[in-house]
């Protein structure tokens, strides 16, 4: 029985502990850590007054969404493929630089490569500061730092690519609207020119103003002539030449006034007020199309700016660090944990053996 206890102690605790401790101390791959902190800055929201969308979707929520999208992209196979081309990560993960337990082999799948890359990568979003902490592990400290620099560059390019694609689509749409609105403006101007040519006038309102002045002058002349006629009748014969001439002038003035008033009041088919209504309608169409074309040009200019500039910028709060010594694994912690686990397993097995022995007795 004593021999059984010694064998159980050796195989359940001592040998596993010594082998595991030897692996942790001498064989386990030592990884160097490079870390950085970045902040996503939306340049479109800088210096602009708050609008309805900013009220409904706060800047913090937008920043968090961008950070989470960036996090997913950094963890993705697309990012791994870009880094793999430059830094040969697949070759490194299959090399002897990693110990046998962590190394990948020929039969390892692409998913295994991505999983190992994700294990070497740690990303955390801080809601208070709205920053993103990124850490990468590698056997070479300089390589870990270089990879982290490359991750930042690719992430910023990808983040702005989404906005630029949307801006390019908006630019194409507004360009079509600009051409359409320009054609409408030119067509409305041509209608005004054709109307002016057909009616032999520049602006009916000017004709109305001129005729109103003439009517005022004729009315004043008519009043004057009527007063002269009344004066002559007091001391001259109504059949005299002077009285008849003055009466004829008064009649001509009244006839001319009636004709001009008829044109202004809308009697007939070519009256000034009807011309004015048609002309003002055409002119209003020109003004409307001019304003719409003006707004389209403003939107086109803004869309062109958005399609050429980076709408979002990754501000590097802390540059990727260069590790002076390995940071992973924590060998002391691992050995202590291993010791506690093996002691627990040995204690459980011993307890079970004691219970079975008691039941036999």
Domain boundaries, given as residue ranges, for the chain: 23-172+309-329, 178-306
pLDDT of residue 46: 47
Per-residue confidence (pLDDT) for residue 360, from 0 to 100: 67
pLDDT of 274-327, one tens digit each? Answer: 666 777 788 888 889 999 999 999 988 888 877 776 667 889 999 999 998 889
Kindly give the parts of the chain with pLDDT less than 50. Answer: 46-59, 267-270
pLDDT of residue 86: 95
Domain 23-172+309-329 has CATH 3.30.1890: yes
What pLDDT sits at residue 88? Answer: 95
Q: How high is the pLDDT of residue 207?
A: 63
The model carries a pTM of 0.62
pLDDT, position 6: 65
Q: Do 120 and 138 contact (CB within 8 A), yes or no?
A: yes
């Amino acid at each position: 029985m004593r021999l059984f206890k010694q064998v159980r102690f050796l195989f359940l605790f001592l040998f596993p502990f010594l082998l595991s401790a030897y692996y942790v101390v001498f064989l386990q791959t030592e990884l160097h850590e490079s870390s950085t902190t970045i902040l996503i800055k939306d340049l479109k929201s800088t210096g602009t007054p708050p609008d309805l969308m900013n009220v409904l979707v706060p800047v913090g929520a937008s920043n968090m969404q961008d950070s989470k999208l960036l996090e997913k992209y950094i963890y993705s196979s697309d990012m791994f493929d870009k880094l793999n081309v430059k830094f040969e990560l697949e070759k490194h993960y299959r090399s002897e630089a990693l110990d046998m337990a962590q190394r990948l082999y020929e039969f390892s799948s692409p998913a295994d490569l991505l999983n190992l890359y994700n294990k070497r990568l740690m990303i955390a979003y801080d809601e208070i500061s709205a920053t993103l902490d990124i850490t990468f592990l590698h056997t070479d400290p300089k390589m870990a730092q270089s990879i982290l620099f490359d991750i930042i560059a690719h992430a910023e390019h990808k983040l702005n690519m989404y906005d630029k694609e949307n801006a390019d689509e908006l630019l194409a749409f507004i360009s079509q609207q600009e051409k359409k609105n320009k054609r409408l403006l030119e067509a409305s101007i041509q209608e005004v020119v054709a109307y002016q040519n057909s009616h032999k006038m520049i602006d009916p309102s000017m004709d109305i103003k001129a005729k109103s002045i003439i009517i005022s002058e004729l009315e004043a002349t008519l009043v004057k002539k009527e007063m002269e006629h009344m004066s002559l009748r007091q001391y001259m014969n109504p059949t005299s030449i002077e009285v008849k001439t003055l009466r004829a002038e008064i009649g001509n003035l009244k006839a001319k006034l009636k004709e001009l008033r008829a044109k202004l009041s809308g009697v007939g088919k070519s009256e000034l007020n009807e011309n004015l209504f048609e002309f003002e309608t055409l002119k209003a169409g020109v003004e409307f199309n001019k304003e719409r074309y003006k707004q389209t040009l403003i939107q086109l200019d803004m869309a062109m700016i958005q399609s050429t500039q980076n709408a979002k910028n990754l501000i590097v709060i802390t540059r990727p660090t260069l590790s002076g010594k390995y940071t992973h694994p924590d060998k002391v912690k691992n050995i202590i944990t291993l010791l506690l686990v093996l002691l627990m397993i040995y204690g459980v097995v011993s307890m079970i053996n004691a219970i079975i022995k008691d039941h036999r007795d």
